[in-house]
Amino acid sequence: MFVHRLLTTMDRVSAPTAVSAHCDLPCGVYDPAQARIEAESVQKIIEKYHASDDEVFRDRALLIKEQRAELTKHHLWVLWTDYFKPQHLEQFPELHDLFWRATKAAGEAKHTVDPAVAQKLLDLIDEVAVVFAKTKAG
């Protein structure tokens, strides 16, 4: 019955019209700040992990840190796959390598409590943010 209604409705739909837009959604949806917030959480959790002797707390900290690092990767990949377009790669040929290094650093942050790894991740996100800002400026 659902399929019959769907087909009937589709019969009434007009042919698609070509449209163009300058981005997939209104500007402002994409922002490296989302990845940075999660990476800052990773950094703070690592600090709290090292400051505590409570094994239960440390176990919880590791779990949450891994989740935040995964979210960092997610936000980076959304920027890379949804925001950045071929023209950006032409303008900034280092983008492939930058995103590869940043997402690898996020993956590494999942598996370590080394503060230097968290800082490296933040530094790479800052590099992404610089390129992102240049693309928004024109």
Convert the pLDDT of each residue in 31-48 to its tens digit.
999 999 999 999 999 999
Convert the pLDDT of each residue in 5-17 to its tens digit.
545 545 555 555 5
83 near 11, Cβ under 8 Å? no
- Band of residue 23 on the pLDDT scale cut at 50, 70, 90: low
Average predicted confidence (pLDDT) for the chain: 87
Cα 59 → chain centroid: 25
Give per-residue burial for 28-49: e unless 16+ CB within 10 Å, then b: eebbbebbbebbbbbbebbeeb
- pLDDT given at position 108: 98
Looking at domain 28-137, which CATH architecture does it have?
Answer: Up-down Bundle (1.20)
d(CA 132, CA 88): 9
Give domain limits for the chain: 28-137
Structure tokens at 30: 């994409």
Q: What is the pTM of this model?
A: 0.80
- Residue 89 vs residue 23, higher pLDDT: 89
- Band of residue 28 on the pLDDT scale cut at 50, 70, 90: low
